Structure 1
């Protein structure tokens, strides 16, 4: 009982002292919860950018460049959180993700956009671009402008076209030299009418598979081969289950950079201007460095003893072009004569 009285006396004394001295509750709350690093977080804008390529590829490195440029231009107000390697969404579901706002940005291959807007298939025509200068003429000229403007009344905003490189063929059982070598082989492909028709003309069967599922399907021999750029072949280690690589340059792989339109419309004009500026500069950076990046991966691949590399001769390339010419006739029905004439003009202007 005596101990209880002593303890009660201490408690009463404490209460009396508190009343007399007073609590600075406002100061305590401020000291506990205030953090100057939190200033402006309510104003900060986060852009979630999902893509399927590795970080050390033209797309991966251009995305990183864009994020750095935009953060710098907005003094940190806008931050781009990049999710590479399909860690959020793969190329089978990223389109839906940007449509419903689960992410703000994606950069799918042009073939995947053509699945929704068929006019985009013009960029996947085989042997449409004799060299990198021809690709630039298409991306930054009449064709690129028409494709991006064609999205104006949709729920995605077309920001720009990004560069990667020319596509090559890998196989497991035998090297591909002539169109006849494709016969009865089974290839992994991206979606897109032009790409499907390309393999139809070569008498090959196809399965449309997400990019991040390609390695596994090569491993279990579900598909015999695939087409891709050297940077993608190397970073995804397709060579571990492919014995032959044909340097064909038969098509070009590039990307459309897309943003959710509702998100875009909700931004201030100043932020929109900063995004456009950062995008323009990142695209120019990517155009200059895409060739270099693919060359780095080409050197790595050539040092890989597990791959047998074959480069098409001029005669063999002519055979491929002849075999694939019907793809153009099929595409013109969808793309229209104006853009098809433009692609033919580019081919002629940059043939040498």
Structure 2
């Protein structure tokens, strides 16, 4: 009798444990409890290669502020400017490895991944920042971003630096012929090489941090950059002439790791997505403001002679560069170029 009683108690205990386990499993699968609920506790790293007083840094800090506030501190965001974490040469590989969760590279650094990232270097393609923003926010721009998914990378947004302009030490540039024989520092890439080659100029890639010395020593005659970069690096101290051209652009891509992104639950992803939206707005507004202020400062300093191309002078450059434009439009994709052109109409 005692044996039967012990067996009965054992069976009842087993049944109770099994029942509790089943209930626990059901709760977990439904998302009713456990890690699937609520904001995940995370540490996110954002790395970029430029200084603090830049659209990149302003956007990154806005992203940090929003995400940390809305997550009640459960998500920590660490921002690393000035190549403190990774530099131009290794940041993409470290994003792929998920050693960093967000990077903001110059699109010129991505042309080897996909020819669509040559868009900012297409001569006179966009009339202003708004046209460039509209393209990258639209269907074809997002299509280019999606092509990085083969690497385990997700493109989220474009952050502009702005239109580029040429400075040089030799003479005022007003016509395509004025560039003949000059040596110009560019960001690099086959499209920019072709562009300056068509204008009779040599082009070379020099690290941005070494450019002031290269201009000072005459290693190159000139360079192309945004107003904010020209002013903040004081290139007007070692250059006599600046031509306001807007012929090409500097634009950045905000990228994340797909494994990281797919590992976020809905509540966490919504906060980060909204943080990206807020950061993008801040970065875009900051770029426009910094360039406006920089041009005013350059004029006030009066160290460089400034010439702004007229419409007829711009048309002369466009006509001269038609062969380069047509060749690279085909490489990038006629449908993509058509869409980009439509944003400036």
Which interval holds the TM-score relative to the shorter structure?
0.7 to 0.9
Summarize the Cα distance change of 1:93–1:216 in structure 2 as closer, same or farther, 3 Å threshold. farther
After superposition, residues 213-292 of structure 1 pair within 5 angstroms as: 213-292=210-289
The alpha-carbon deviation at position 44 of structure 1 amounts to 4.7
On the 8 A contact 1:122/1:331 being kept in 2, the answer is no
On the 8 A contact 1:115/1:193 being kept in 2, the answer is no
The alpha-carbon deviation at position 125 of structure 1 amounts to 0.9
The alpha-carbon deviation at position 285 of structure 1 amounts to 2.8
Summarize the Cα distance change of 1:102–1:218 in structure 2 as closer, same or farther, 3 Å threshold. farther
Larger CA deviation: 160-169 vs 213-222: 213-222
- 1:119 paired to 2:116: yes
Structure 1: stretches of 5+ with no match in the other structure: 1-42
Q: Which has the larger Rg?
A: 1
TM-score w.r.t. the length of structure 2 is: 0.82
77, 81, 87: which one aligns with 1:80: 77
Larger CA deviation: 97-106 vs 313-322: 97-106
After superposition, residues 283-322 of structure 1 pair within 5 angstroms as: 283-322=280-319
- 1:212 paired to 2:209: yes
Q: Distance in 2 between matches of 1:255 and 1:293?
A: 16
Query: Which residue of structure 2 lines up, in the alignment, with residue 180 of structure 1?
Result: 177
- 1:135 paired to 2:165: no
Query: Which residue of structure 2 lines up, in the alignment, with residue 199 of structure 1?
Result: 196
Summarize the Cα distance change of 1:259–1:245 in structure 2 as closer, same or farther, 3 Å threshold. same
Query: Which residue of structure 1 lines up, in the alignment, with residue 97 of structure 2?
Result: 100
Query: Which residue of structure 1 lines up, in the alignment, with residue 4 of structure 2?
Result: none
Structure 2: stretches of 5+ with no match in the other structure: 1-39
The alpha-carbon deviation at position 128 of structure 1 amounts to 0.5
CA RMSD after TM alignment: 2.1
Q: Distance in 2 between matches of 1:52 and 1:258?
A: 14
Query: Which residue of structure 1 lines up, in the alignment, with residue 20 of structure 2?
Result: none
TM-score w.r.t. the length of structure 1 is: 0.80
Over 6 Å off, 4+ runs: none
The alpha-carbon deviation at position 267 of structure 1 amounts to 3.6
1:83-131 CA deviation, whole Å, 9 max, x = no partner?
A: 2233343323333332334433211112221232112212321111122
Matched pairs, number: 306
Q: Distance in 2 between matches of 1:78 and 1:330?
A: 47
Larger CA deviation: 264-273 vs 163-172: 264-273
